[in-house]
Amino acid sequence: MSNQSSTQFRLAFIILSAFVLLFIVAPLLGMFIRTPFKDIATSAADAEVVQAIWLSISVAMVTSLLFAVPAIPLAYLLARYDFPLKSVANGIIDLPVVVPHSVVGIALLGFIAGDGLIGRSFSAIGFKVLGTPFAISLAMAFVSLPFLINAARDGFLQVPVRLEQAALTLGASPFQVFFTISIPLAWQNIASGIVMMFARGMSEFGAVIIVAYHPMVASVMIYDRYTTFGLKYAQPAAIIFLMVSLIVFISLRLLSHKR
C-alpha cells in the first residue's frame, strides 16, 4: 500500500471514528454547558437525589455479586461442555438484550405481583415484593446478566483445557480445578463482566419503573423530575448521576484490571 493510500485510509477512519465519539460526547457536554453550577450544587445537597443515587449503586452492586454465584458456573458449563439444546440456552441468555425493557417489567410484574408465582409465596409470609429493593434487584439482574455470563464464558474459553486435564490427572477434584485454575485464569474476563453487569443494572429504567416506582432509583427519580417539573429541574440531577456513575465505573474498571 502506498504512503498516500495509507494516509487516506487512516484519515477516512479517523473522521468516521471522530463522528461516533462526537455523537456520544456532544449531548453530555451540552448538558453540562447548559446547566448552571449553582443548580448542580443544589441538587448535590438534595437528600432525594443522594438517596436515589445511593439506592441505584447499592442495589446494582449487591445484585451483581449475588447473581455472579450461579452465573459463573453456568458460563463454565457453556464454555466446557456440549449438551442438548446448548444453542437454545445461549439464545435464552441473550434474550434480555433484545427484549424491550418495558416488556421485561411487565413480565416480572406478572411474576412477583400478589397473584404471581413469587408474589403469592412471599405474601403468605407477609412480605410484599412490589415496590421494594428486592423487586428493583430482580429487574436489574434480568437485563444485565447476559453481560456477566458472556464475558465469563469467553474467559473460560481462553483457559487451556490441558491445564485442567493435567490437574485432574494429578488427583485434583473438579472443584479444586475450577477454583484454583479456571477461575484465576479467567478472572479478568469475569471481573470485567461483573463491572459491566453492575453498570448496566445501575442505569436500568424501563423494567424498574414498572415493578418499583418507589423507592426511586436515580433513573426513575430523574424521569419523575422531568415529567413533573421539566428539563431544567431534571438536568442537574442527571449530571450528578452521570458523574457518580463515571467515577464508580472507572474505579471498578481500574480495580479489576489491577487484580
pLDDT, tens digit (0-9, with 9 covering 90-100), for 107-133? 999 888 877 778 888 877 878 888 999
Q: Name the residue among 184, 204, 97 with its Cα closest to residue 148.
A: 97
Q: How many domains does the chain have?
A: 2
- Helix, strand, coil share of the chain (percent; to 5): 85, 0, 15
- Verify that 27 and 45 share a domain, yes or no: no
Closest CA to 55 of 253, 213, 189: 213
Measured CA to CA in angstroms, residue 50 lies from 5, 54, 55, 126, 226 at distances of: 54, 6, 9, 30, 17
From CA 178, how far away is CA 186, in angstroms rounded? 10
Tell me: do 200 and 233 sit in the same domain: yes
**Do 58 and 30 lie in a common domain?**
no
How far apart, in whole angstroms, are the C-alpha atoms of residue 248 and residue 45?
Answer: 19
- In which residue are the cell numbers 504512503 written? 3
E strand map for the chain: none
Same domain, 177 and 246: yes
In a shared domain, residues 27 and 132 = no
Can you give the pLDDT at residue 127?
83
Q: pTM for this one?
A: 0.90
Mean pLDDT computed over every residue of the chain: 92
- Helix-helix angle 231-258:3-34, to 10 degrees: 130
User: Quick one: what percent of the chain has pLDDT higher than 70?
Assistant: 98
Rounded mean pLDDT, 205-231: 95
Task: Based on the fold, state whether residues 67 and 189 are members of the same structural domain.
Answer: yes
Determine the structural domain holding residue 29 and report its residue range: 1-34
Same domain for 71 and 8, yes or no, is: no
Clarify whether residues 20 and 52 are in a common domain: no
Give CA–CA dist 169/18, Å, rounded: 53
Q: Find cell 438484550 and name the residue.
A: 97
pLDDT value, residue 259: 56
Q: Are residues 185 and 67 in the same domain?
A: yes
Q: Is there a single domain that holds both residue 24 and residue 114?
A: no
pLDDT at 2: 63
